[in-house]
Amino acid sequence: MDKNGLGHVIEFVRNDYLCKVLFINLIIHKKMVSYKDLGLVNTKEMFAKAIKGGYAIPAFNFNNMEQLQAIIQACAETKSPVILQVSKGARQYANQTLLRYMAEGAVEYAKELGWEHPQIVLHLDHGDSFELCKSCVDMGFSSVMIDGSHLPYDENVALTKKVVEYAHQFDVTVEGELGVLAGVEDEVSAEHHTYTKPEEVVDFVTKTGVDSLAISIGTSHGANKFKPEQCTRNADGILVPPPLRFDVLEAIEKELPGFPIVLHGSSSVPQEEVATINKYGGALKDAIGIPEEELRKAAASAVCKINIDSDSRLAMTAAIREVFALKPAEFDPRKYLGPARENMKKLYKHKIIDVLGSEGKAE
């Protein structure tokens, strides 16, 4: 075969290979759902504005329709940007396909409520594997968290980098984590906390390319964030938790000036909701959260995302228990889920206006 003939063969093989690659990519992308088509946004611009403005974005977890309605109503009325968080367990509970349409519906619902330009993120909370994060990216999430904090440092870096490289192809933002929070929430649990080491943050962010970093400065998951022996008691006998380690936060800010920082486990565990639950048959003992004044201080720093889940659960449960106790003949779900939705909405608005300072930041 002469050189020209060989060249034609090589060109044919090359073109055939490219066609196959393009075909495979077409199949892959056909299955994918872009968050942009759902009307969602990622966290990049949202976080930049929050850091500059000295406030934090509320990151509210949801599992069902009533929680989602309450979040959207609260944010539409206050014009607050919001991050809708879904844990691995919540995704399994609600179904990934339904979640996609719930998120799209949330955007349209916000517009119906008069929020002309809603800024809504759909975020995976505590993703524990590359496969889970990839699946969420492919199903329309605009942001994912890969939590490799339980792994040795180098393995955390490698896993986080892998997720970042995949997600950034589709303009999906990624949150990583350094340090370990104590407590239990869904499938995330740890007996002891480990504070984030400020000396590691630059290396971690540089090597992984993450868009934000969750840190450990003393917050904790769940409604029982601290053991009684870790706390003091005030004059009313209420537990007072140990203060957050703002010195660690300040050291991290010094290492990473202007970089988006995230606080997990930041529910304040409203004592009035705990009291209502216990009054009507509950058994929440020594439930204690993060004082709101400390969260206000954090929101004024580089902390631009604050996660709140347990408070919503408490508000919902308190309202439902009260209806069941006062109206024992009631069996219409709307009659107890409706008040639960209203109680959650009240809580969300309080957090937005009085704690995080995000009211009016998404006109």
For 102-119, the pLDDT digits (tens) are 999 999 999 999 999 999
For 147-163, the pLDDT digits (tens) are 999 999 999 999 999 99
Q: Does the residue 363 lie in any domain?
A: no
Percent with pLDDT over 70 in the chain: 86
Q: Does the residue 12 lie in any domain?
A: yes
Token pair listed for 197: 């080491």
Q: How far is CA 247 from CA 232, 251, 259, 263, 274, in A?
A: 21, 6, 17, 15, 31
Look at residue 42 in the predicted model and tell me its pLDDT: 98
Is the same domain home to 190 and 306?
yes
Is the same domain home to 184 and 326?
yes
45/24 Cα distance (integer angstroms)? 32
- Residue 183 in this model has a pLDDT that exceeds 50: no
Is the same domain home to 239 and 139?
yes
- Residue 9 in this model has a pLDDT that exceeds 80: no
Is the same domain home to 185 and 69?
yes
Is the same domain home to 5 and 114?
no
- pLDDT band at 241; cut points 50, 70, 90: confident
Ramachandran quadrant class, 222 (left: phi over 0; alpha: psi -120 to 50; beta: rest): left
- pLDDT band at 219; cut points 50, 70, 90: confident
Look at residue 76 in the predicted model and tell me its pLDDT: 98
- pLDDT band at 26; cut points 50, 70, 90: very low
Average pLDDT for 54-74: 97
Look at residue 21 in the predicted model and tell me its pLDDT: 53
Token pair listed for 192: 């002891």
**Of 305, 11, 80, residue with least CA distance to 175:** 305
- Residue 15 in this model has a pLDDT that exceeds 90: no
Q: Which of 3-7, 186-190, 292-296 has the highest mean pLDDT?
A: 292-296
Look at residue 187 in the predicted model and tell me its pLDDT: 52
Is the same domain home to 148 and 211?
yes
> Where in the chain does DSSP place strands (E)?
57-61, 82-87, 120-127, 143-146, 173-178, 182-185, 188-190, 212-215, 220-221, 232-233, 239-240, 261-263, 303-308
pTM of the model: 0.88
Is the same domain home to 204 and 293?
yes
Q: Does the residue 362 lie in any domain?
A: no
Please count the structural domains in the chain: 2
Look at residue 226 in the predicted model and tell me its pLDDT: 62
Is the same domain home to 174 and 242?
yes
Length of the chain: 363
- Residue 333 in this model has a pLDDT that exceeds 60: yes
Q: Does the residue 88 lie in any domain?
A: yes
* CATH code of the domain in which 348 resides: 3.20.20.70
Average pLDDT for 169-179: 97
341/316 Cα distance (integer angstroms)? 7
- Burial pattern 62-95, b for ≥16 Cβ within 10 A else e, equals bbeebbbbbbbbbbbbbbbbbbbbbbbebbeebe
- Residue 237 in this model has a pLDDT that exceeds 80: no
Look at 189 and 346; give whichever has higher pLDDT: 346
118/108 Cα distance (integer angstroms)? 9
State which residues form the domain around 342.
38-356
Give the pairing of strands 82-87 and 120-127: parallel
Is the same domain home to 120 and 15?
no
Is the same domain home to 106 and 25?
no
Mean pLDDT score across all residues of the chain:
89
Q: Does the residue 64 lie in any domain?
A: yes
341/321 Cα distance (integer angstroms)? 13
Which are the catalytic amino acids?
Answer: 125
CB of 348 closer than 8 Å to CB of 341: no
**Of 261, 149, 278, residue with least CA distance to 223:** 278
Q: Does the residue 259 lie in any domain?
A: yes
Q: Does the residue 361 lie in any domain?
A: no
Look at 5 and 354; give whichever has higher pLDDT: 354
- Residue 353 in this model has a pLDDT that exceeds 90: yes
Is the same domain home to 69 and 138?
yes
Q: How far is CA 355 from CA 56, 163, 246, 263, 293, in A?
A: 9, 32, 17, 14, 8
